[in-house]
Amino acid sequence: MARYKLLIEYDGRGFVGWQRQENGFGVQQAIEEAIEKFCGEKTIVFGAGRTDSGVHALGQVAHINLSKETKADTVRDALNFHLKAVPVVVLEATEVKDGFDARLSARDRAYEYRITNRRAPLTVGQGLSWWVPVPLDAEAMDAAAKVLIGKHDFTTFRAAYCQALSPVKTLDMLRVSRDGETIKVETRARSYMHHQVRNIVGTLKLVGEGKWTAADVKAALDKKDRAAAGPTAPAAGLYFVEVLY
């Protein structure tokens, strides 16, 4: 039995998310079907983290077990051949030891949220960014983001149906920057709650519009009440960027 680590990129549009589900087509299912077409084996693809419907990945990591040892490059190329019909590619395949686990071995996960801040609507960028036509102050958003860095009870930014055992999480990094009409919200943490990043972005947008201040964000955090925060940002702007081991 050989274990392979896969580095995966995908466009989340058209998928119900990472996980195989009964109500639609998941990225995990697409890869599992490609594996079966490649070598005839039915196996589970274990991902480093789940992404919701419409969320993209530039650096999702997964591991698979195959009964027959094969060159890692062959695994990569064969899977990509059978994934041609869907917007999923395996960037790298690496043979790893049995003790490696894409989820449990992860030390940090990095996400990036992209906002297109311009008056004109999106064309080629539809589904790949959150279009915000009103001017946003990225520097004010970055200053407000700093109050959320560190270990906190993030109940305020937790989805109502989140299944995390605890709302206490540690954000190792959260920063906002602008490059032309693109605003990026970058974050890194060991783990997240459902919609945590999107709820944070929706709140920081209020700061960017001048409706909230950093003090308002801190007050919302302290209330430990989802109703105290801003709206959930759309899935289209969120990217799973990297997993650190």
Tokens found for residue 42: 């039915």
Q: What is the spatial distance between Cα 110 and Cα 231, in angstroms, rounded to a whole number?
A: 22
Tell me if 201 is assigned to some domain. yes
> At residue 26, does pLDDT exceed 90?
yes
Q: What is the pLDDT of residues 60-74, one digit of tens each?
A: 999 999 998 899 999
- Find out whether 98 and 112 touch, Cβ atoms under 8 Å: no
Q: Does residue 86 sit in the same domain as residue 113?
A: no
> At residue 186, does pLDDT exceed 90?
yes
- Residues 116-146: b if buried by 16+ CB within 10 A, e if exposed: bbeeeeeeebebbbbbbeeebbbebbbebbe
- Residues 5-19: b if buried by 16+ CB within 10 A, e if exposed: bbbbbbbbeebbbbe
Q: What is the spatial distance between Cα 90 and Cα 60, in angstroms, rounded to a whole number?
A: 9
C-alpha 104 chain-centroid distance = 17
Give the model's pLDDT for residue 69. 85
CA distance to 24, 62, 218, per residue, from 1 (Å)? 31, 16, 50
Q: Does residue 81 sit in the same domain as residue 128?
A: no
Beta-strand pair 182-189/108-116: antiparallel
Q: What is the pLDDT of residues 227-241, one digit of tens each?
A: 999 999 999 999 999
CA end-to-end distance (rounded Å), the chain: 23
Q: Does residue 78 sit in the same domain as residue 133?
A: no
Q: Does residue 223 sit in the same domain as residue 198?
A: yes
Q: For 37-42, what is the mean pLDDT?
A: 95
Q: Does residue 85 sit in the same domain as residue 123?
A: no
Q: Which of 11, 52, 137, 153 is catalytic?
A: 52
Q: Does residue 87 sit in the same domain as residue 197?
A: no
Q: 208 is in which domain, residue-wise? A: 108-244
- 52 as an active site residue: the answer is yes
pLDDT, the chain, mean: 97
Give the model's pLDDT for residue 164. 86
CATH of the domain at 66: 3.30.70.580
Percentage of the chain exceeding pLDDT 70? 100
Q: Does residue 158 sit in the same domain as residue 238?
A: yes
- Find out whether 202 and 230 touch, Cβ atoms under 8 Å: yes
Q: What is the pLDDT of residues 85-107, one digit of tens each?
A: 999 999 999 999 999 999 999 99
Give the model's pLDDT for residue 161. 83
Structurally, how many domains does the chain consist of?
2
Lowest average pLDDT, out of 20-24, 40-44, 82-86, 99-103, goes to: 20-24
Q: What is the spatial distance between Cα 167 and Cα 163, in angstroms, rounded to a whole number?
A: 10
Name the pLDDT band for 211 (thresholds 50, 70, 90): very high
Give the model's pLDDT for residue 160. 83
Q: Does residue 112 sit in the same domain as residue 80?
A: no
Of 96, 120, 137, the last residue of a domain is: 96
In the chain, DSSP assigns E strands to 2-10, 46-47, 56-66, 88-96, 108-116, 130-131, 150-153, 168-179, 182-189, 238-244
Q: For 211-224, what is the mean pLDDT?
A: 98
The residue assigned the tokens 């392979």 is 4
Tell me if 102 is assigned to some domain. no
Tell me if 103 is assigned to some domain. no
Q: Does residue 123 sit in the same domain as residue 183?
A: yes
Q: What is the spatial distance between Cα 149 and Cα 171, in angstroms, rounded to a whole number?
A: 5
Q: Does residue 15 sit in the same domain as residue 76?
A: yes
